[in-house]
A and B are shown apart, each in its own frame.
Chain A
């Protein structure tokens, strides 16, 4: 049962990942990303990590990808793209090579390590304790052992939010940014609209 669930969700994750890089349309790519994240959530469930699965769905699928899609729709960058042109020469080949290298490394570790790697211990394949729920354990750890890291992260996020607000509110008494030299004195028509004949 566990293996079947793993195979199905791993296939979804892989198909989604391929969809992200190979879709012509950015919105389709974002949709594939959702499929990938959902697949990962199911993998978490399969490992007995219920809280991680739900957090994965709430945070990544429910908030981050929504914002990605939102920005795409708002800015209108949802047009089809040409996948043939390479912004950097040879980047596809290089990416493929690095991917193969990683695959080889992982396979090598599994082949060489054998049982030492695939241990099947409880801490990797299931909940740590059968009586105390994952949520309680994570909560206790967060607010005792890792409380300092937690507070620092909270501070960091607050600073990021304040920074974003400050950066996005441009004071308007600043002098407007002058047009670059190449854009002026080209003998073009002025950019203001000329009133049409008989306009009222």
Chain B
């Protein structure tokens, strides 16, 4: 019931339980290793962008640097400030890590989608998907977990009993709540196009040889780029990554919500942040770039699923680091303007346009007239919004309202 996975639809015996346990361990280990490598990757790439060498002593190319740092964190003194709210202070880092782990459970990280296969693989004589869970609510679960993630940051800042962390956490909650709307609306566009919430279903809809045999059937194209761009921008804000890292703007807020944290608790925040980056890249790949779907060039199909997934994910992780090391941080009012006045109206308008498009196809209306009418309505809405913003600005300048 909880899963569309063929593994759980039959008789549930010991082997099935063991396979599920194996998948849990595999996903857990993958996520930890990926996070470790991501921290190293980010430091290395950023230092390349800045003409530095970066970590280079621990292991080949400094690849074990994160491990060394982790061990160092374990042996550092764990401080709890006098004015901290003890229980919440201890709880907060855990509240950031747990959603970060849970988010990955719905991501399909492999499977045979080549040549019309349905993405299932044989594991010890049982057919199963290469993803931990495939609930019917699928991608909504991801939205739920990312809306929970704000608590860790918020409570960490509040419970520290100090000014800068509190300011950081107030910023964080405002920012994450604002951008969640844009994030949800662009996910909506994907769900509307594929007609399913299940992540496996979303990947299935993008598999196959695609248009003209070589242009992949990705949602990136099927939803018309705009939701993808909105999702990418909103996800960066949701992750509190530069250029939207106002939550931990070092020049203004010291270290923001984790200023008062030390030792392993600080490390937990750090790990959660990078883990969220990895998971967000995986979710973008799932939603817009077909996840593990791709042609099998040679060898077994299930292997190519994993290879395609990792390749696409790494490309996005590189993009994240690239953006981070190139763009300066935006101002807080610019951040809010981008979220509320650009991304939300844009994604809402685009969603309506997509819906019109699908209804027109169902009802076999004249395609040209429908699109033209939709564009006219959309432009009118945009004009009204522009007018409203301009009027309010003029009135503010006149000093009629505060």
The 9 closest A-B pairs by CB, nearest first: A62-B147, A57-B144, A54-B140, A50-B137, A70-B173, A54-B137, A58-B144, A169-B401, A133-B136
Q: Are A169 and B140 in contact (CB under 8 A)?
A: no
The answer to whether the Cβ of A96 comes within 8 Å of any Cβ in the partner chain is no
- Interchain residue pairs with CB less than 8 A apart (17): A27-B155, A31-B88, A51-B140, A54-B143, A54-B144, A57-B144, A57-B147, A57-B148, A61-B144, A62-B147, A66-B150, A66-B154, A66-B177, A69-B173, A70-B177, A170-B401, A173-B400
* Residues of chain B contacted by A134 (CB below 8 angstroms): 136
Number of B positions contacting A (CB below 8 A): 30
- A34 touches B (CB below 8 Å): yes
B135 A67 Cβ-Cβ under 8 A: no
Q: Supply 13 further A-B pairs (C-beta < 8 A) apart from A58-B140, A58-B147, A133-B136.
A: A25-B85, A31-B88, A54-B140, A57-B147, A62-B150, A66-B151, A66-B173, A70-B173, A70-B177, A126-B1, A169-B401, A171-B400, A171-B401
Q: Are A62 and B180 in contact (CB under 8 A)?
A: yes
CB of B187 to closest CB in A, whole Å: 11
Best-buried of A25, A31, A170 by chain B (most CB within 10 Å)? A31
Tell whether, in the assembled complex, residue B169 and residue A73 are in contact, meaning their CB atoms are under 8 Å apart: yes
Contacts across chains A and B counted by CB atoms under 8 Å? 85
Query: Which residues of B in the span 126-171 have a Cβ within 8 Å of any Cβ on A?
Result: 135-137, 140-141, 143-144, 147-148, 150-151, 154-155, 158, 166, 169-170
Residues on A with C-beta less than 8 A from B212 are: none
Give the complex CA separation of A198 and B141 in angstroms: 63
A127 touches B1 (CB 8 A): yes
Measuring CB to CB, which residues of chain B are less than 8 angstroms from any residue of chain A? 1-2, 85, 88, 135-137, 140-141, 143-144, 147-148, 150-151, 154-155, 158, 166, 169-170, 173-174, 177, 180, 197, 399-402
Q: Are B140 and A74 in contact (CB under 8 A)?
A: no
Is there an interface contact between B169 and A54, defined as CB atoms closer than 8 Å? Answer: no
Interface string of A33-61 (1 = CB under 8 A from B): 01000000000010010110111011001
Q: Which of A34, A74, A171 has a CB less than 8 Å from the CB of B170?
A: A74
Residues of B within 8 A of A126 (CB): 1
Q: A31-B88, A66-B150, A169-B401 are in contact. Are A135 and B170 (CB under 8 A)?
A: no
Interface of B is mostly: helix
Q: Is the interface of A mostly helix, strand, loop or mixed?
A: helix
Of chain B, the residue at the smallest CB distance from A127 is B1
- Residues of B within 8 Å of A169, CB to CB, are 401-402
Q: With contacts A31-B88, A58-B147, A66-B154 known, is A73 near B170, CB below 8 A?
A: yes
